Amino acid sequence: MSALQRPTFNKRWMPVLVIAAIVGALALSFAWAAGLVGGRTTTRTFLGDSLQHFEPGYRRAHGKGICFAGVFRSSNAAASLSTARVFAQDEVPAIGRFSIGSADPHAPDASTATVSMALLLSADDRSQWRMKLNNAPYFPTRDAEGFLAQRHAFEPDPTTGQPDPARVGTFFEKYPEARKAVEYKATAPWPSSFAQAQYNVINAFILLAADGTRQPVRWFMRPHAPFHGLSPEERARSSRDFLFNDIKKRVAQAPVRWDLVLQLAQAGDPVDDPSQPWAAERQQVVAGTLEVTSVRDQREGGCRDINFDPTLVPSGIALSNDPVLAARAGIYSHSYNARLREIAFGRATDAIGQQEHK
């Protein structure tokens, strides 16, 4: 083709091309934000590969749950450690959710040893404190990628039905700290009631005092009800929803209570590693008592549409540099957006998707 025959660019198309480029870039950024395109970020990896057995409209993990409401009564004992209003206000309204660890919202209660509490405290200065707590005492690995590596390592081999020992070995070489969580899980007693479990925050936070002091802290909810572990026989005999029936019955009879206990770190304690518990003799402060006074189905009890993101803390509490804590914010937001979108577009099952209108 000679130079004379070469097609020439008509400048009149320039504005059209610019507009098309802008529209294309916007469409791509929306698709990226919705998780439809893009690299395999940690969030997508967790929700795409690891937590894919969920039902539309339900949480991608801890799908089976029940809402609760109640009140947090501050003891005032933590007010000198943090300026957060919740530690000084006499009574703070509480809304929360009990759940089991399984992603399957219809799983039998005896299918997992993990029981959990999510909590949102709303103080009278309009500050909110959100948290999620598990009955496990610590996280298996020092980072979130380790959690994913553990899931892959322990996936049963299709030929033997058992985890591949070589893969498990490689995992423990990279994450030796995970041995104690695996051993703990194998021997820890299974809970027989939500009311009797101790719920642990696991990640560390920093309390900020009025004089500027920064105190690294972890906390747990210590039940007033004495613990009774389930024997394997009791587990085998247990009914499908025994934990949920039990908590409904207990709360109908009387409020169920937990003390909010702060564990204060000392210099040198591993603040940013959730796989390392601090020594049991570290100073503890009972910041107050949570009183659960009612429970309701998660479809209608007000907790369905809450993202109990633990990084949403009030002023007076700051985040530590724990990488698992940081990773969780994105993971929860992704799960929350996806399940609410499914409900909004009518893709959720009636059990979770329809609010009761009264």
Q: Binding residue for ligand HEM (CB under 6 A) from 82, 99, 102, 135?
A: 99
> Which string of b and e fits 232-271 if b means at least 16 CB within 10 Å?
eeebeebeeebbbebbbebbeeeebbbbbbbbbbeeebeb
Q: How far is CA 23 from CA 12, 14, 19, 20, 198, in A?
A: 19, 14, 6, 5, 52
Among 68, 72, 129, 139, interactor with ligand HEM by CB under 6 A: 139
Residue 82 vs 200, nearer CB to ligand HEM: 200
- Taking every pair of Cα atoms in the chain, the longest distance, rounded to a whole number of angstroms, is 93
**331 forms part of the interface with ligand HEM (CB under 6 A):** yes
Is position 304 an interface residue for ligand HEM (rule: CB under 6 A)?
A: no
Task: Please identify, using beta-carbon distances, which residue of 72 and 98 lies nearer to ligand HEM.
Answer: 98
Closer CB to ligand HEM, residue 110 or residue 118? 118
- Measured from the CB atom, the residue of 39 and 161 that comes closer to ligand HEM is 39
CB 326, min distance to ligand HEM, A? 10
Q: Judged by CB, which is closer to ligand HEM: 85, or 97?
A: 97
Task: Calculate the CA 41 to chain-centre distance.
Answer: 19
Q: Which of 81, 95, 121, 133 binds ligand HEM (CB under 6 A)?
A: 133
Q: Smallest gap, in angstroms, from Cβ of residue 21 to ligand HEM? A: 36
Per CB under 6 A, which of residues 69..88 are in contact with ligand HEM?
Answer: none
Tell which one of 201, 207, 264, 317 touches ligand HEM (CB under 6 A).
201
204 near ligand HEM, rule: CB under 6 A: no
Interaction of residue 142 with ligand HEM, rule CB under 6 A: no
> How many of the chain's residues bind ligand HEM (CB under 6 A)?
29
Selected range binding ligand HEM among 30-38, 80-88, 224-232, 325-333, rule: CB under 6 A: 325-333
- What would the 3-class secondary structure string for the chain be? CCCCCCCCCCHHHHHHHHHHHHHHHHHHHHHHHCCCCCCCCHHHHHHHHHCCCCCCCCCCCCCCEEEEEEEEEECCCCCCCCCCHHHCCCEEEEEEEEEECCCCCCCCHHHCCCEEEEEEEECCCCCEEEEEEECCCCCCCCCHHHHHHHHHHCCECCCCCCECHHHHHHHHHHCCCHHHHHHHHHHCCEECCHHHCCEECCCCEEEECCCCCEEEEEEEEEECCCCCEECHHHHHHCCCCHHHHHHHHHHHHCCEEEEEEEEECCCCCCCCCCCCCCCCCCCEEEEEEEEEEEEEECCCCCCCCCCCCCCCCCCCEEECCCHHHHHHHHHHHHHHHHHHHHHHCCCCCHHHHCCCCC
- Kindly indicate which of the ranges 17-25, 58-66, 87-95, 227-235 contains the residues binding ligand HEM, using the contact rule CB under 6 A: 58-66
Name the minimum Å distance from CB 306 to ligand HEM. 7
- The answer to whether residue 129 forms part of the interface with ligand HEM (CB under 6 A) is no
Q: Does 61 bind ligand HEM (CB under 6 A)?
A: yes
List binders of ligand HEM among 237-296 (CB under 6 A): none
Shorter beta-carbon distance to ligand HEM: residue 13 or 345: 345
Task: Candidates 7-15, 80-88, 132-140, 178-186: pick the segment binding ligand HEM (CB under 6 A).
Answer: 132-140
By beta-carbon proximity to ligand HEM, the closer residue of 133 and 290 is: 133
Chain residues in the site for ligand HEM (CB under 6 A): 46, 51, 59-62, 65, 97, 99, 116, 118, 132-134, 139, 144, 147, 201-202, 307-308, 324, 327-328, 331-332, 335-336, 339
